[in-house]
Amino acid sequence: MTARDGTLVLSRGDVEALLDLDTCFLAVEDAFRRHGIGEAKPPGVLGVPGRNGGFHVKAGILNGFFAAKVNGNFFENERRGLPRIQGVIVLCDAETGSPLALMDSVEITKLRTAAATAVAAKHLARPGARKLTLVGCGVQGRAQLRALSRVLALEAVFSFDEEEERARRFANDMAVELGFPVTAASDLRSALSASDVVATCTPSKKPFLFPGFLRPGTFLAAVGADSEEKQEVDAALLASCTIVTDVTDQCAAIGDLHHALASGLATRDSVHAELGEVVAGKKQGRRTAEEIVVFDSTGTALQDVAAATAVYERARETGRGVSLSLAA
C-alpha cells in the first residue's frame, strides 16, 4: 500500500463501526507480546501543556506500520458540550513512509486503554478474582468494566466517583448491560476492602490510594496518570507493591512511578517487569497469592498502532472511509 493508492480518512463513526473491544484486546495483547520479545521498537511520547489541559503525541512502529497520535485532553470540555479527549491518528507504511490513513482517535484511545487493563488483569490478577472496585465512572470507566468483564468472572462491582450521581448512573446502566450486580459505593475504603481487583481511571492530580487501602492479593490497574502532574497512587503504597509497567521509561516520566521515583521511595530497580515481558513469558507475573500487584498504565503508542492497524485493515476489506490524495 502506497500514497498513490490514497489516504483513507476515517471518522469517529467509521472507527466505532470497524473496531470492537474483542478485536482490540487481541491486537493490544499481541503488541505487548511483541514488545516483550523485542520485536517492537520502544515507543515515543511528547507532552505539551495548555490551559486547563494539554496535548500529548505518542508514536511507534509495529508490524510494518507507524502511527502517531495527537490527543488533546481538556478537563473543562464537558461544560462546553465537547469530549474531554479529542484527537487524530496518522497511520503510515513503516517501510516507505506513505500515509495510509488519518482517523479519529477517541474510540481507539478508549478501547485500547481498556484492553490494556484487561490484558494486565488476565496475566496479573489473582486466580478466582471476582470483585472489582472501579474508580472514575466516565466514558473510560465504562470501557474498563466491559473489558475486565471479558477476562474475569466478576460477581460484584463497586463504582466510585467524586460525583455520586455519576457513580449511581454508572451502576444502574452497567448492571443492566452486563447482568451482574454493580453498586455505587459511598465509601471508597469499604469498597476496596471487599475487592480483589481495582481499576482507577481519573484525572486526579492528588493520590487517593494510600498504604493500608488495598487488601493482600489485590490487583490494581492505575490508568489515570498519563502526564507529569497526574497521580492516583501514593508513592509509599506504590513502592510497597509489585510494580508492572506498560513501558518503564514512559511510566518513570509521566506515570504514578514518576512520583514514587521523585519521592525517593522507589527506584527503577523497584519495577518487577514490563507487561510485555510477562505476556511473552520472559518474566513471571504474580508470584504469590498475597502480593499486591500494580499495573502502572500510561498508554503507549504500540497500543495505538495495533488498534489503528486493525481499523485500517478492516476498512480496506469493507470499503469504509473516504480515500484522498494528500499529494495532489
Burial of 145 (0-12, 13-18, 19+ CB in 10 A): buried
For residue range 190-243, what is the model confidence (pLDDT) as tens digits? Answer: 999 999 999 999 999 999 999 999 999 999 999 999 889 999 999 999 999 999
Interstrand relation of 131-135 and 197-200 (parallel, antiparallel or unpaired): parallel
The pLDDT of residue 3: 45
Q: At what angle do helices 21-36 and 106-124 cross, to 10 degrees?
A: 60
The pLDDT of residue 52: 82
The pLDDT of residue 282: 97
Segments of the chain with pLDDT less than 70: 1-4, 328
**How far is residue 190 from each of residues 20, 133, 212, 214, measured CA to CA in Å?**
34, 10, 12, 10
State which CATH number among 2.60.120.10, 3.40.50.720, 3.40.50.1980, 3.40.50.300 fits the domain covering 116-299: 3.40.50.720
Domain 3-109+302-324 shares a fold with domain 116-299 = no
- The CA-to-CA distance between both ends of the chain, in Å, stands at 17
* Cα 41 to Cα 217: distance, rounded to the nearest angstrom: 33
The third-level CATH classification (topology) of the domain covering 3-109+302-324 is: ornithine cyclodeaminase, domain 1 (3.30.1780)
The whole-angstrom distance between residue 91's C-alpha and the CA centroid of its chain comes to 20
* Cα 76 to Cα 12: distance, rounded to the nearest angstrom: 21
Contacts of the segment 166-174: beta carbons below 8 A, 24+ positions apart: 166/137, 166/138, 167/137, 169/137, 170/134, 170/137, 170/141, 170/142, 173/142, 174/142, 174/145
Domain boundaries, the chain: 3-109+302-324, 116-299
Sheet bearing 242-245, strands edge to edge:
182-184, 156-160, 131-135, 197-200, 219-222, 293-296, 242-245, 271-274
For residue range 290-320, what is the model confidence (pLDDT) as tens digits? Answer: 999 999 999 999 999 999 999 999 999 999 9
For residue range 109-121, what is the model confidence (pLDDT) as tens digits? Answer: 999 999 999 999 9
Partners of residue 222 on adjacent β-strands: 200, 296
- Among all residues, which ones are annotated catalytic? 69
Q: Are 69 and 307 in contact (CB under 8 A)?
A: no
The pLDDT of residue 1: 46
The pLDDT of residue 2: 46
The pLDDT of residue 24: 98
